[in-house]
Chains A and B, each alone.
Chain A
């Protein structure tokens, strides 16, 4: 950076009004530059949103600000002075705390125990003072305007309750700078409103909120200041008044991407037929109750709903990875219930897992292996149990090129690819072999903007060719863009069904919460 700019940045950043900031922060992971010379300032008593696509570097910056990571160059600024965090403990000491995207609560402990963990009220013997802990819990409840059952085990609490506990835990430790990483990803629209109200209240009391999101509507609803990050650098910072959705989107992706347009569905014969399905979840409760669903050829059906309302059970029943209590699942007129996933794949089912790292891919295995897994026994690639490496190789290379997977070599492990490219490998594999039905769960989670557009186009093209798609997604925008029909799940039952173009997000959001508004 030219010296003049450095000095300017310094003056602006080393000012006492900067509650939390970064000066010229750079962080590299091998060849990848996650943060490049980032200058950032958040003022006391504001809600500051950080937006950017996946892989832009937002989470890396937040982890540095919170002490989980250290910059290669540059410093973190607290109250106008440079500091060095050796760990989250130092950040906590400065009043800075973070609610991560994957909740950092401990299963096996109660909500109360989770609340006080690492900052427990103790008596002389090192015993935890439960009475004092409860008092504190009630005090925080009042602050947030909620009431919780503090003896609930963590794993039994619903997602939005867990998130509240995470926030209260930070307040318990006297944190006044709260960093929230994609907090609304797991919430229904009405719960988002509650969270926004809470954040506004905390801000009005003088706290500082840093809020990472890629959902521009929410950002525009709550933020005072917005910073856009792309490719590891800050593209710009502006107050809310100056921001529009189009402007932000343009800054995020560097150009305006056309939304894929969908032709109306032709609606052919029935491909997926789910009749009277009842499925228990792995804790023994009924997750899906007497559920019916049909998906036709040349149709995309979306499943909307807050996580935990039956989507996992539906996917488990269709893939065969879970046990069905009663009911039937059929594919193209043939019974599928009771068959293994291998048999269902042979019948024409493809499955895109919601958990790319743990199930959709084998990250330590070569890209080629990931691309061929599940197809490796096809006659073209295997004779009498012996594989044909040359056929496999040429097929894999063609497939990867067709899906624009940017790679150095297909022999390298899949972990060497970016998130977006990893998902392309998974998508490529699932479309390979001309399936009849694709069950796509969270198809663009953790994928960059360009990748999202590409994958959406793949799904639409597949539909136009006569394929059937069932999309389960937490991104309402995605469902609205792709689906010919959206079925909303609530409490394991159908709360409603909307056809393309007939209603807006508010109505779907209402149905997602069982039909009651906030």
Chain B
């Protein structure tokens, strides 16, 4: 039936579109729990996408590409974090600065090394394998959800309960929460809140780097300077929406994933592409407003 197939396609596409946002959002969430709002996720995604593609093409191994992309993101994360924690720089400005500088560096690099202005199309790019689960694949909808996805998507969704457990139950998670909420208290106890924050930013960078390489070798197979399409900011929206809770953040990422998937389909039906593109960003504003209203109502309601 064409209808069911279409639904399956949309579901599948939604999950595909969710993965990069989810990865970056989980990273951003951990970062924020540790006390830093990471506006520069886009830059780490971009770097991961580029490096991942290059590695995938030159080594033929998608595993190596994942590792190197994550590392690239992690290194950028570390640099950004050091500027914030050791040089006491404002995290918003540093994030924006990183986005601008890294975007420039990427284009500079493409021009200098490949003579290309914006797009990089390499031969023999190792793509992510597709995991089809035999019996499940035939179930409508559920099959689209569980089957036919790649390892990175599975890893992304596994990160959600893992992060929740980490924050609530482990020693490192407790120290992270403390470092974000009261760094002076943490320092008085003999720990280093700055080092803890740096670690959380590196983690965010790793995740964003993975998100980036997923886009370049998982989704499209080439690199384009616009490949992130502002998804670093959508991830920001997702973890704001999720209020530092992993499952809620995942829900937000999923919502945006559905939007993304629908948007492509709506484009062909006379709804102007540009207007549809507005939806995720508008939704962020709406969500933030609703959250603020709810908080205000809750405060007033307390008897």
Which A residues form the contact surface with B (CB < 8 A)? 67-68, 87-92, 98, 100, 104-109, 113, 117-120, 122, 125-128, 280, 282-285
22 contacts between A and B (CB under 8 A): A88-B187, A88-B188, A88-B190, A92-B190, A104-B185, A104-B189, A106-B178, A106-B182, A107-B181, A107-B182, A109-B177, A113-B174, A117-B175, A119-B189, A120-B171, A122-B170, A122-B171, A126-B170, A127-B170, A282-B299, A283-B302, A284-B300
**Residues of chain B contacted by A128 (CB below 8 angstroms):** 169-171, 174
> Quick check: A127 and B169 within 8 Å, CB to CB?
yes
**Residues of chain A contacted by B170 (CB below 8 angstroms):** 122, 125-128
Complex CA gap A67/B181 in Å reads: 22
Interface SS of chain B: helix, strand, loop or mixed?
Answer: helix
**Residues of chain A contacted by B187 (CB below 8 angstroms):** 68, 88
The listed residue (A90, A100, A109, A280) touching B174 by CB distance below 8 A is A109
> Quick check: A104 and B174 within 8 Å, CB to CB?
no
The listed residue (B188, B191, B302) touching A98 by CB distance below 8 A is B188
**Residues of chain B contacted by A90 (CB below 8 angstroms):** 190
CB within 8 Å for A118 and B189 given contacts A128-B170, A284-B299: yes
> Quick check: A118 and B191 within 8 Å, CB to CB?
yes
Is B186 an interface residue when CB atoms closer than 8 A count as contact?
yes
Closest partner residue, chain B, to A103 (CB atom): B185
Q: Given contacts A109-B178, A117-B178, A118-B189, list 10 more A-B pairs with CB under 8 A.
A: A88-B188, A98-B188, A107-B181, A108-B177, A109-B177, A118-B190, A122-B171, A127-B170, A284-B300, A284-B303
Closest partner residue, chain B, to A98 (CB atom): B188
**Residues of chain A contacted by B171 (CB below 8 angstroms):** 120, 122, 126-128
**Residues of chain B contacted by A125 (CB below 8 angstroms):** 170
Which B residues form the contact surface with A (CB < 8 A)? 169-172, 174-175, 177-178, 181-182, 184-191, 299-303
Distance (Å) between the CB of B147 and the closest chain A CB? 31
> Quick check: B188 and A89 within 8 Å, CB to CB?
no
Complex CA gap A105/B177 in Å reads: 12
> Quick check: A88 and B178 within 8 Å, CB to CB?
no
Distance (Å) between the CB of A214 and the closest chain B CB? 22
Complex CA gap A302/B177 in Å reads: 41
Complex CA gap A98/B189 in Å reads: 9
Complex CA gap A478/B190 in Å reads: 37
Complex CA gap A88/B188 in Å reads: 6
Complex CA gap A283/B298 in Å reads: 10
**Residues of chain B contacted by A280 (CB below 8 angstroms):** 302
**Residues of chain A contacted by B175 (CB below 8 angstroms):** 117-118
**Residues of chain A contacted by B191 (CB below 8 angstroms):** 89, 118
> Quick check: B190 and A87 within 8 Å, CB to CB?
yes
Once A and B bind, how many residue pairs between them come within 8 Å at the CB atom?
74
Complex CA gap A105/B183 in Å reads: 10
CB within 8 Å for A120 and B188 given contacts A282-B299, A284-B303: no
CB within 8 Å for A109 and B181 given contacts A117-B189, A126-B172, A128-B169: yes
**Residues of chain B contacted by A109 (CB below 8 angstroms):** 174, 177-178, 181
Interface SS of chain A: helix, strand, loop or mixed?
Answer: loop
Distance (Å) between the CB of B9 and the closest chain A CB? 41
The listed residue (B174, B190, B303) touching A120 by CB distance below 8 A is B174
Complex CA gap A119/B303 in Å reads: 38
CB within 8 Å for A105 and B189 given contacts A126-B172, A127-B169, A283-B302: no
**Residues of chain B contacted by A118 (CB below 8 angstroms):** 175, 186, 189-191
The listed residue (B185, B190, B303) touching A105 by CB distance below 8 A is B185
Distance (Å) between the CB of B235 and the closest chain A CB? 23
**Residues of chain B contacted by A87 (CB below 8 angstroms):** 190
The listed residue (B177, B190, B300) touching A106 by CB distance below 8 A is B177
CB within 8 Å for A284 and B302 given contacts A109-B181, A128-B169: yes
Nearest 8 pairs between A and B by C-beta? A284-B302, A89-B190, A104-B185, A118-B189, A88-B190, A106-B182, A104-B188, A106-B178
**Residues of chain A contacted by B178 (CB below 8 angstroms):** 106, 109, 117
> Quick check: A117 and B174 within 8 Å, CB to CB?
yes
Complex CA gap A98/B190 in Å reads: 11
The listed residue (A98, A100, A108, A120) touching B181 by CB distance below 8 A is A108
Complex CA gap A106/B176 in Å reads: 11
Complex CA gap A107/B299 in Å reads: 18
Closest partner residue, chain A, to B303 (CB atom): A284
**Residues of chain B contacted by A106 (CB below 8 angstroms):** 177-178, 181-182, 185-186
Closest partner residue, chain A, to B184 (CB atom): A104
Complex CA gap A280/B178 in Å reads: 29
Closest partner residue, chain A, to B302 (CB atom): A284
Closest partner residue, chain A, to B165 (CB atom): A127
Complex CA gap A283/B181 in Å reads: 18
Complex CA gap A157/B173 in Å reads: 23
Distance (Å) between the CB of B99 and the closest chain A CB? 29
Which of A89, A92, A117, A126 has most chain B Cβ within 10 Å? A117
Closest partner residue, chain B, to A283 (CB atom): B302
**Residues of chain A contacted by B301 (CB below 8 angstroms):** 284
Complex CA gap A108/B182 in Å reads: 9
Complex CA gap A108/B167 in Å reads: 12
Complex CA gap A107/B177 in Å reads: 10
Complex CA gap A107/B35 in Å reads: 13
Distance (Å) between the CB of A499 and the closest chain B CB? 37
Which of B182, B186, B299 has most chain A Cβ within 10 Å? B182
Closest partner residue, chain B, to A102 (CB atom): B184
Complex CA gap A109/B170 in Å reads: 13
> Quick check: A100 and B186 within 8 Å, CB to CB?
no
**Residues of chain B contacted by A282 (CB below 8 angstroms):** 299
Complex CA gap A119/B171 in Å reads: 9
Distance (Å) between the CB of B17 and the closest chain A CB? 33
> Quick check: B188 and A100 within 8 Å, CB to CB?
yes
Complex CA gap A394/B18 in Å reads: 64
Distance (Å) between the CB of B170 and the closest chain A CB? 5
**Residues of chain A contacted by B302 (CB below 8 angstroms):** 280, 283-285
> Quick check: A68 and B188 within 8 Å, CB to CB?
yes
Complex CA gap A356/B299 in Å reads: 28
Distance (Å) between the CB of B33 and the closest chain A CB? 10
Complex CA gap A452/B299 in Å reads: 39
Complex CA gap A68/B303 in Å reads: 43
Distance (Å) between the CB of A234 and the closest chain B CB? 25
Distance (Å) between the CB of A235 and the closest chain B CB? 29
Complex CA gap A204/B184 in Å reads: 32
**Residues of chain A contacted by B174 (CB below 8 angstroms):** 109, 113, 117, 120, 128
